[in-house]
Amino acid sequence: MTPEEAKAILTPFYDEMVKNMTDGKHEENMKFTHPDAVVVDKDHKLCHYGLEQIGRSNEKCCACECCICYCCEFHFDSTKGPQTTKEFHIWRKHDNKWKLYHLEYEIVEQK
């Protein structure tokens, strides 16, 4: 699988996840989560999501038949102001559907 093919698989998932977050429907994103998923907060802080649009930049993908690795920077507004997080995700197939298996993030910029 090429990086372009991997990104084509993940783009609709991330688009829907961002829409759910901006609409305040965080719980709907659970359907994308692998049953054995791991979320890692590298700074031992909680992740804050605002109700404003969430943007992505510096996206990179690599993949094989059983998993897709994706990293990017998320930019969003929170009650503390604009924030940027660096994220690393691993997606794996479960019941023949792509599910988020591992999520690692750190807040890298907060104004």
Q: What is the CATH number of the domain that holds 20?
A: 3.10.450.50
Name the helix (H) or strand (E) containing 94: strand 81-94
SS (H, E, C) 44-84: CCCCCCCCCCCEEEEEEEEECCCEEEEEEEEEEEECCEEEE
Dist CA 75 CA 13 (whole Å): 17
Return the pLDDT at 43.
62
Look up the domain containing 96 and give its range.
3-110
Return the pLDDT at 49.
38
Evaluated on CA atoms 37, 40, 51, 76, the torsion sign reads negative
Domains in the chain: how many in total? 1
Return the pLDDT at 110.
64
CA dihedral 45, 76, 68, 91 (to 10 degrees): 50
Percent of the chain with pLDDT over 90: 17
User: Is 56:14 a contact under the CB 8 Å cutoff?
Assistant: yes
Mean predicted confidence (pLDDT) in 43-58: 54
Dist CA 27 CA 7 (whole Å): 24
